[in-house]
Amino acid sequence: MKDCCENDDKKNVKTKHLVKDAKASPKIKEPENSDEEEEEHDHGHADPNQPQWKQHLGLLTGLLILVCVLVMDYGFGVKLSKWVSLGVNSVAFLLAGWSVLGLAFRKAIRGDIFNEFVLMSVATLGAFYIGEYSEGVAVMVFYSIGEWFQDSAVDRATASIKALLDIRPDEVTVIRDGKTQVIPSAEVKMGEIIQVKAGEKVALDGKLVSDKGSFNTAALTGESRPDSKYKGEAVLAGMINLNTVSEIEITALFKDSKLSKILEMVQDASARKSQTQLFISKFAKIYTPIVFFLAIALALVPYFVVENYVFNDWLYRALVFLVISCPCALVVSIPLGYFGGIGLASKNGILFKGGNFLDVMTKINTIVMDKTGTLTKGVFKVQKVVTEGITEKELVKLVAILEKNSTHPVGQAIIEYAGKEADSGKATAVEEISGHGLKGKVDGKDVLAGNIKLLQKYKIEFPKEVEEIVDTIVVIAIDKKYAGYITIADEIKEDAAKGIKMMHDLNIRTVMLSGDKQSVVDQVAKKLGIDEAFGDLLPEGKVEKVEALIKEGRHIAFVGDGVNDAPVIALADAGIAMGGLGSDAAIETADIVIQNDQIVKIVSALKIGKLTRNIVWQNIILAMAVKVAVLSLGAFGVANLWEAVIADVGVAFLAILNAIRIQRKHI
């Protein structure tokens, strides 16, 4: 059997529809399903733009006929003649089950007879053979309604993922014929010029046309210091323009952007099965043929051992056995449970690349994190101002006025800190000393602002402890005398401390790895309450640390955002990438992507994994308990077809409702 309910194939088709409908979606690789396979898992070729009731008009008509026949029979005592009843019920049966019968026939002629479609067809046609027309129709109607219900649940899950994808940047300002216009990113051609304003994310790869620009590259390099780009240098998608408007010539189309890669991840997510799904698939391949042959045995073996054997009576028991034995409650609700978990995660800004990673998150006991861009914002902020012989306000004012002549992010941080004071004067005779800092006159005073090498160059003495400061530092001299310093550091994310505490509440061990100085790493770790912190690490050093933790028997989730994090993400049990600013390499390598870069979302991912596992096992236990009970009753002639179909469809309904309950949870 090819997966009894073949639910995973249905999800692949639905995901394909999602990919096609995604806003401004590029042309990407689609699943290699044949037309016949797609037909098998997209019942009726319904137009997705039609209302649901129109897509299932035949089923609804069949249900209406069934209800009318039952009301006439049990409500008013009006019984139709045998041939009229056969004709009316046959119409209802074909309206409700034509697609199921067609699928069963096509599978049977290919030698695939152990599947739900053949099973349901045999059971319902058998009911017609022994004269139980209404019961045969009921089995087909309620089974088809269950399929409809399942498809709707999957649609809701895919819709929530589509909503997640739509938040990705998909418009750019392009310069055409000397004028700017905002167009979809997918329409930008190679060689065209786009304009990126301060604070905007670069949507496409290209090279800088403007003379100079400063970009936040922490997502790509793992370094906290922003990067100054000059005319002709490469600017990559994911970088954020920090100051003046920049013009970029496009060197890569939108189809190669981060957005299309995310779309491919969604497309592939449903194909990656969890261990539980794989077990159920294998179980169904063994279970279904067994119950099929048991049903045949139940109909025929009593002929040799039972007195007064009546074939129709024992055939009826076998049909009951067949209906209740259908494992669709398991093979429908379990994949749907995992897909529901993926949908819930997407609503919370988390992209799981497959149900298997939901299972992995239930075993994680150690979270290893990068520092820059993961625990910190990757942007500079003034942390401390120390003065000597001058007030803090005056020092900041003088330096801010001087720094207005520079586009360096460090200077911009000081200007932002100074506020209106930065506009209260003008610097003259400004000179930028490469690799050192700035020199100029402000309010008639000679001002030097830069690194320690700048003061050493001009032979200005300063306290020795200044050299021991670990943060980025701007040292200032006024009129050839040391006047103080300003420290500027990467700002810790607002939710970082809360996220670490929540991890500790779940008994998760926290470890931080960084390429920054150990003193900086220790400082951040102390502020956040991280258990262990290691600095001065190259990418291979991070790999060694994670390998050491794995050897201790720890189940590791690594969280990073830069290219240099990709090897460690691949090594960990669960690789988590910060997707808002994260590099393409990190996102592609990761198993889970946090779209909004929030640390607390890691805890949400852990909780969603455990919630999904719990609901999936609830469904397994419920379905197996009910089936064993009703199978036994059916074999002894206690349960009839009505009770079998109600038990089978009822369990499937309950399991599906329980599965889609995941998406309604608040994490």
pLDDT tens column, 185-211: 888 899 999 999 888 888 888 899 998
Question: Per-residue pLDDT averaged across 92-117, rounded?
Answer: 84
pLDDT confidence of residue 286: 78
Specify the 3-state DSSP secondary structure of 391: coil
Among 150-159, 236-245, 415-424, top mean pLDDT goes to: 415-424
Q: pLDDT of 326-380, one tens digit each? A: 766 676 677 778 877 887 887 777 888 878 889 899 999 999 998 877 898 877 7
| CATH class for the region spanning 171-254 | mainly beta
User: Do residues 229 and 269 touch, judged by C-beta distance below 8 A?
Assistant: no
Q: How confident is the model at residue 101 (pLDDT cuts 50, 70, 90)?
A: confident
DSSP 231: T
Instruction: Identify the burial level of 140 via C-beta atoms within 10 angstroms of its C-beta, where 0-12 means exposed, 13-18 middle and 19 or more buried.
Output: buried
What Cα–Cα distance (Å) separates residue 68 from each residue in 3, 83, 128, 129, 523? 36, 17, 18, 22, 76
Residues 3, 227, 359, 370: which is the catalytic one? 370
Nearest-angstrom CA–CA distance, 442 and 401 = 7
pLDDT at 246: 92
Task: Say if residue 422's pLDDT is above 80.
Answer: yes
Q: What is the value of pTM for the model shown?
A: 0.61
The residue with greater pLDDT, 38 or 132, is: 132
pLDDT (mean) for 408-413: 80
CATH code of domain 352-376+493-606: 3.40.50.1000
Q: Is pLDDT larger for residue 646 or for residue 231? A: 231
Mean pLDDT of 312-319: 85
| Whether pLDDT at 432 is above 60 | yes
Q: Which residue has the tokens 């249905």?
A: 10
- pLDDT for residue 341: 85
Spell out the domain ranges in the chain: 52-164, 171-254, 266-342+609-664, 352-376+493-606, 377-491
Task: With cut-offs at 50, 70 and 90, classify the pLDDT of residue 289.
Answer: confident
Q: Which pLDDT does position 264 carry in this prediction?
A: 59
Strands 574-578 and 592-594: parallel
Is residue 370 annotated as part of the catalytic site, yes or no? yes
Residue whose tokens read 């058998």 = 126
Average pLDDT over residues 66-85: 84
Q: What average pLDDT does range 226-252 have in this prediction?
A: 84
Q: What is the pLDDT of residue 145?
A: 78
Average pLDDT over residues 148-175: 65
Tens of pLDDT, residue by residue over 40-49, are: 444 444 555 5
CA distances from 254 to 10, 190, 200 (A): 29, 10, 17
What pLDDT is stored for residue 200 in this prediction? 85
Strand-pair partners of 172: 183
Give the residue, 37 or 491, on which the prediction is more confident. Answer: 491
Q: What is the mean pLDDT of residues 481-487?
A: 94
**Which fold, 377-491?**
Calcium-transporting ATPase, cytoplasmic domain N (3.40.1110)
Ranges 94-108, 331-345, 594-608: which has the least confidence: 331-345
Task: For 397-408, write each residue's pLDDT tens digit.
Answer: 999 999 998 877
Confidence at residue 661, expressed as pLDDT on a 0 to 100 scale: 82
Q: What is the pLDDT of residues 530-552, one digit of tens each?
A: 999 998 787 788 889 999 999 99
Q: Picking from 153-167, 477-491, 586-600, 635-649, which range would have the lowest pLDDT averaged per residue?
A: 153-167
User: Is the confidence at residue 314, as pLDDT, over 50?
Assistant: yes
Q: What is the mean pLDDT of the chain?
A: 79
Task: Look at residue 252 and give its three-state secondary structure.
Answer: coil
Q: How much is the pLDDT for 11? A: 38
Question: Is residue 274 very low, low, confident or very high in pLDDT (cuts 50, 70, 90)?
Answer: low
- CB distance 127 to 136 below 8 Å: yes
- pLDDT confidence of residue 551: 93
Tell me the C-alpha distance between 644 and 662, whole Å: 28
- Angle, vertex CA 255, rays to CA 272 and CA 265, nearest 5: 15
* Cα separation, 74 vs 66, whole angstroms: 12
